Amino acid sequence: MSKPEPTLAEELKQLREEKAQLAEANQRLNEEVLELYTLYNISKTLALSLDVGELFDRLMNIIGESLRVDEYCLMLLDEPSGQLIIRASHGLPENLLVNANVSVGVGVSGKVAETGQPIHLPDISEVKDFFYYPGSNITKGSFLGVPLKLNSGRLIGVLNAHKPEPRGFSPGDVRLFTQVADHVAIAVENALVYQQTKELSNRDELTGLYNRRYFFERFEKEVERAKRYDRILSVIMIDIDHFKNYNDSFGHLRGDALLKKLACLLEKSLRKADVIARYGGEEFFVLLPETDKEQAFQAAEKLRRTVEEYDFHADHPELKSGKVTITLGIASLPRDALDALSLLDLADKALYFGKAQGRNRVSAEVPEEKRADR
C-alpha cells in the first residue's frame, strides 16, 4: 500500500518543527561565532603587553566587558607557601584584599586549585559553609571559579567571578569562562617570565642587589618626581672599611662571600620602599624616597650599627675579631642639591670625608673647601 499523503496540518507541524530546529541551530552557531570572536579579541589583546601590571589591567577590562561580570578576581599561586594571592580584582572591596590569601584546598578557590577543575555554584545560599576569601562575607548569588593551567598541566592560579543574583551564569558563560582562563594562563605565564628575566637583568650577579645601571635609571626618575611634586629624598653612599686589605689577605673568593653577607644585612635593615644597589667593588648606593636628611642620618646610623654589631666570625673564621665596619655619606634633595649627579657627588664627598675622619661613621656634611674637590 502506498503511504498516505500528509495532511496540511501535519505538513505545517513539520515545518514548524524544522523551523524551530533551524532557529536553535542558528542560535548555537551565533553563540559559537561570538565565543570564537571573543576569544580572538582576548588573545589579541593579551598579546599586546608583557608588563604584569598592564596585563592585569587589560584582564580586568576584558573579563568585565566580554563575560558581563561585575565582581571578579585573579588569584596566582605562590608555590613556596601554597597560597593563592589576589593579584588583580574588580568590584571587590580594596580594604579586604590586603590579607585575602587562601591556602590550596581551603574554600571554593582553594578547591579549584587543589582539584584543577572548574567549580560552578548556581546558588551560593544552598552551599553550606561557602568560603570565598577572608572577610568576603558573600552568602548570596552565583559563583564560578576556573583553574589557570598551562599547556603542561601546571596550575598557576584561579580565575573567580561572582554575580549577585542566583543562577547568573549560563552554560555558555561557564564554557566561555573556562576557555578564557586558558588564554589568561598563557598570557600571565609569559608576562611573569618576562618580568623575572627583566628583574634578573637589573640585579648584581654576586650580591643579588640592584645593579648600578638600574639604580641610576631609578634614581633619576625619583629625582625628577621629587622636583615636580615638591617632595624630598635622600641618598646614602656606603663603603666597606679596609676591604682591599681583606681581599689581599684572604683572596677574592672570601671577599665575594663577605660582600654577599654584608649586602644581605644592609638590605634587611632598610624599608621596602628604599632601593639599595651595588655601585661596584665594595661600594653601595641607597635611595631613600620621602626621607629628609635627619631621617636619612638615622637610617644610615642603623645600617652602620647593624654591620658593626654583627659577628662575622662564624661565617668568616679568618676574621679573628669577627668585626667589619662601614663608612657612609649622605646627601638630600632639595637641601643639598637639586639634580641627581650633584646629589650623588655630594654623598660621595661626604663618604670620603668620613673615611678621612677615621672611618666607621656616618658623614652628613662636607666642609665648604671639600665641596669643590674630594
Alpha carbons 313 and 141: distance in angstroms, whole number: 62
Helix (H, G, I), strand (E, B) or coil at 362: strand
Average confidence (pLDDT) over 314-328: 87
How many degrees, rounded to 5, is the angle at CA 273 between CA 267 and CA 275? 50
For 171, 209, 229, 251, 323, the CA distances from 313, given in Å and listed in that order, are 66, 23, 47, 17, 8
Residue predicted with more confidence, 141 or 150: 141
Q: Quick check: 31 pLDDT over 60?
A: no
Chain centroid offset of residue 339 CA: 30
235's torsion region: left (phi>0), alpha (psi -120 to 50) or beta?
Answer: beta
Q: Quick check: 291 pLDDT over 50?
A: yes
Give the pLDDT score at 374.
Answer: 42
How many degrees, rounded to 5, is the angle at CA 324 between CA 321 and CA 328? 155
Q: Tell me 149's DSSP state.
A: E
Q: What is the pLDDT of residues 206-254, one digit of tens each?
A: 999 999 999 999 999 999 999 999 999 999 999 999 999 988 888 989 9
Average confidence (pLDDT) over 161-185: 83
Alpha carbons 63 and 295: distance in angstroms, whole number: 45
Q: Provide the percentage of residues in the chain whose pLDDT is more than 70.
A: 84
Q: Provide the percentage of residues in the chain whose pLDDT is more than 90.
A: 45
| Amino acid, single-letter form, for residue 153 | G
Average confidence (pLDDT) over 12-26: 71
Q: Where are the domains of the chain?
A: 20-200, 212-372
Residue predicted with more confidence, 243 or 187: 243
Whether the CB-CB separation of 180 and 61 falls below 8 Å is answered with no
Q: Tell me 271's DSSP state.
A: -
Give the model's confidence band at 25: pLDDT under 50 very low, under 70 low, under 90 confident, else very high. Answer: low
Q: What is the pLDDT of residues 81-109, one digit of tens each?
A: 889 988 888 887 776 666 788 899 999 99
The CATH superfamily of 212-372 is Reverse transcriptase/Diguanylate cyclase domain (3.30.70.270)
Give the model's confidence band at 183: pLDDT under 50 very low, under 70 low, under 90 confident, else very high. Answer: confident
Average confidence (pLDDT) over 55-68: 69
Average confidence (pLDDT) over 115-121: 93
Give the pLDDT score at 48.
Answer: 61
Residue predicted with more confidence, 263 or 80: 263
Q: Work out the angle between the directed axes of helices 171-201 and 52-67 (0-180°, nearest 10).
A: 170
All three cell numbers of 221:
626618575
Q: Quick check: 120 pLDDT over 70?
A: yes
Give the pLDDT score at 13.
Answer: 73
Average confidence (pLDDT) over 196-214: 87
Q: Quick check: 182 pLDDT over 60?
A: yes
For 201, residues 6+ apart whose C-beta sits below 8 A from its C-beta are none
Name the nearest CA neighbour of 191 among 275, 109, 37, 76: 76
Query: Could you tell me which CATH number the domain at 20-200 has?
Result: 3.30.450.40
Q: Work out the angle between the directed axes of helices 8-46 and 171-201 (0-180°, nearest 10).
A: 10
Q: CB-based burial of residue 336 (10 Å sphere; 0-12 exposed, 13-18 middle, 19+ buried)?
A: buried
Lowest mean per-residue pLDDT among 63-77, 217-231, 280-294: 63-77
DSSP 7-34: PHHHHHHHHHHHHHHHHHHHHHHHHHHH
Alpha carbons 154 and 116: distance in angstroms, whole number: 9
Q: Quick check: 347 pLDDT over 90?
A: yes
Alpha carbons 241 and 359: distance in angstroms, whole number: 7
Average confidence (pLDDT) over 111-123: 94
Q: Tell me 129's DSSP state.
A: T
Alpha carbons 47 and 233: distance in angstroms, whole number: 37
Give the model's confidence band at 139: pLDDT under 50 very low, under 70 low, under 90 confident, else very high. Answer: confident
pTM confidence score: 0.58
